[in-house]
Amino acid sequence: MSGVNGTEPDQLLQLAESLLALAQDGEQMEVAVSAGSSTSVRVYGGEVESYTSADSSGAGIRIIVDGREGFASAGTLDPAILKGLVQDARDNAAFAETDPHAGIAEPDGVAPVEVDAWREETLSLGAEERIARALEVERRVLDGHEAITGVRTATFSDSAGAGALASTAGIRAADRSTSVSSMVQALAVDGDRSQTGFGWHGARAPQDIDYDHIVDRAISRSTELIGATKPESATVDLVLDPQLTATVLGLTAGTLSGDRINKKRSPFSGRAGEIIASPLLTLVDDPTDPLSLGADSTDGEGIACRPVPLITAGTLDGYLWDSYNARKAGVQTTGSAVRGTRGLPSPGVHALSAAAGTAGSLEDLISSVDLGIYVFALAGLHSGVNAISGDFSVGVEGRMIRNGSIAEPISECTIGSTLQRLLLDITAVGSDRIHMPSGVAAPSMIVSGVRLSGK
């Protein structure tokens, strides 16, 4: 079993356990350590623009005494520095305010599901192969369409990492993972206007990257908007492909995290058991799904990951909890803590999954729409949604749909609604559910009755 930077998960776990021996009576202590390596090549104009390779490591230590929490982190695994880090966390706890809910996670009896996120072949990649893959993506895009005048950048990246966590509550967890990805941004020119198109894909191993998807996406997104005009204002149906569905549902899941619920900074606070979406929507966070690149055996506190139902047939099932926010709300953790070694755990999504519907393919959805937009991009969606009220107004680009057929390209227009309304107005869900490099699995869908502001 190959290690990362010479460090294997069990070695990292031994290091974490050795630091636990420094805990004093009455202290709760949690130690998280990680090590990894990454390489990235960027090409432009058939030449290598940059080639970078880096190793990284880190540790984070939490100490809680009488409700006072102290945390300290460092970007090293040097034993001498880590011993000093324990004292830093202890000193920080002495100056912290008392919080009755502070505490490390306690084992809840749920057994972890084994997830194999390691691909040995990723470690065998050489510099020449990495460069060749990036150059090939650039070449294919340049040759793919007469309107493509250039490629702004093309990249290939890979990484491998391992982590471990140990605590005085008896939690022990260790894992490792690999990842590879490739990206290209195409440039198409039409007169004095230009359009860019972005294609990206990722996987755990080099052979699993879908280069056809990367190239096709970059070309289509840059060329199919050539000649885009500002449309007339109207009420339209939005057709979202799986990637945009994943974006919208990811924003929805973000409003269901336990910290937002406790602070009442979500439009769905206090609404568990209520209908909040179309009966066509079922949404779960499932880190046990081996097909998801977000799959994991344990969460950021070493608690076993498990499927967490969020929305079932339109009804809100519940929320995502880490141990602190669950304790504060008087509920149990859902194994949904996320973290890095340099930060404290918080609740979040691991592997969001929306159930497939019965409406067929993306093409089937398009053919069912009388007046709508096949959406290419929702500009500013992440920053344009009010996380408390759910209100949003964002730019939209895409192709008009008229009488079931793709029509003219459009831009310089906006759509406005609320996240709550958007979920309720889902009128069709495709059967074309796919797993994406983001870790999300989602199908295409139609959102009806959205107001488009144009001319």
pLDDT at 5: 59
pTM of the predicted model as reported, rounded to 2 decimal places = 0.93
pLDDT at 388: 80
**Per-residue tokens: 51:** 């080639």
pLDDT at 2: 45
pLDDT at 387: 73
Low-confidence ranges of the chain (pLDDT < 50): 1-2
**Mean pLDDT for the chain?**
94
d(CA 88, CA 286): 36
**Per-residue tokens: 62:** 């939490």
Q: Are 158 and 177 in contact (CB under 8 A)?
A: no
Query: 146 — phi, psi (to 5°)?
Result: -65, -25
pLDDT (tens digit per residue) in 382-436: 666 777 888 888 899 999 999 999 999 999 999 988 899 999 999 999 999 999 9
pLDDT at 383: 67
d(CA 392, CA 25): 51
d(CA 259, CA 344): 13
Q: What are the chain's domains? A: 9-222 (3.30.2290.10), 227-247+356-453 (no CATH)
Inter-axis angle of helices 9-20 and 79-94, to 10 degrees? 50
pLDDT at 1: 35
pLDDT at 384: 66
Task: Provide the 10 A C-beta neighbour count for residue 110.
Answer: 15
